[in-house]
Amino acid sequence: MYNNGNSSKNVTGASVVDGTVETVDIADDAVTADKLANSVNADIGTGVTASTTAGDALPKAGGAMTGAITTNSTFDGVDVATRDGVLTTTTTTANAALPKAGGAMTGAITTNSTFDGVDVATRDGVLTTTTTTANAALPKAGGTMTGTIAGFTSTGIDDNATSTAITIDASNNVGIGQTSTGKKLEVLASNGAVALQRGSGNSQGSAYKFNFLKQLPVVSSGNKIIIPFTNQGSLNSTTICKVMGHSARWNYGDVKGFELTFEVGHLGSLGALNVWNTGGNYSSIAINGMNVEITLGTNYIWGTIADGVFVSLEYMTNHASFSIDEANVRMN
């Protein structure tokens, strides 16, 4: 095929070109891979150099590049280098973020506002105070108190004393003034005034019953028990008293026990003394001023030993403050 003019020539069959092909008149869409099977001049507008083969090209359908792609412009309108910088920053931020699904924070969280509407700093202060209070509280399950309960009152037992006032052990034994007891109820009173029971009353007083237990040592003769009464002035009062006693020498062969019951009326002085049910080492009874004196048959002295007696007074009266003066009950 030869043409030295400017007119077009059509090639319809296979042709071999010996020389240079002027491409100015070759239409781009007329160039195919088959037509470029051999090396062609770099002047072809597709950018294929003389050393490029079809096997080195990326098909239009896509594929995998085997080398890096560089550009001083954009891909599909996107500045890849700029977007790469943004992606790097975003990736760093994302890797340092807490997923919405939750996770473990690796550092402290601070805020000058709230979390879900809650002022955490304020709530922390409340929690600290609440925790302190809770740690100082007695659990509902019970525990050991470390201090005194101040201002404690109850409808049952009310103890504001500085020492043990009442003890109830595992066997339900109760000790008052006694920390250990084998009885259902044991009362210890160092002054002898063990128990007081009070019933109803009227304008003349109330029904009182006392129990008094004490050791009375010998002072001189050792043969009298002296029971003093309080002068109540213008108040009429009556006392009924049961007296029992025996030797305070508990390991001695002769216990010298005695008992009697008497009644006495008192106002400004004692009177109307009556005696019932006497026995044992009892001898006689008499009024001496504001005292009732019980004389015993034999004394309670053993040589130089003067232990005296153990005595029990159980008495009833209508005026507790104007009856037997327990603190001064004694032996002569």
Phi, psi (deg, nearest 5) at residue 249:
-90, 80
pLDDT over threshold 90, residue 332: yes
Name the 3-class secondary structure at 111: coil
The predicted-structure confidence for 89-113, as pLDDT tens digits, reads as follows 999 988 888 888 988 888 888 888 8
Which of these, 212, 207, 210, lies nearest to 237 by C-alpha position?
207
Could you tell me if 228 and 324 are in contact, meaning their C-beta atoms sit under 8 angstroms apart? Answer: yes
Mean pLDDT of the chain: 80
**Between 261 and 156, residue with greater pLDDT:** 261
Candidates 56, 17, 11; CA nearest to 33 is 56
Q: Count each helix (H run) and each strand (E run) in the chain, helices first.
A: 2, 13
pLDDT over threshold 80, residue 264: yes
Q: What is the DSSP letter of 98?
A: P
Residue 39 has pLDDT above 50, yes or no: no
pLDDT tens digit string along 211-257? 888 999 999 999 999 999 987 666 778 899 999 999 988 666 778 89
Distances (CA, A) of 36 to 39, 255, 320: 7, 148, 139
- pTM of the complete model beyond 0.75: no
Q: Which of 253, 251, 249 is nearest to 300 (CA)?
A: 249
Exposure pattern of 268-283 as b/e (b: 16+ CB <10 Å)?
A: eebeeeeeeebeebbe
Non-local (6+) Cβ contacts of 220 within 8 A are 332
Tens-place pLDDT, residues 5-29: 555 566 556 565 566 656 555 555 5
Mean local confidence (pLDDT), 255-267: 91
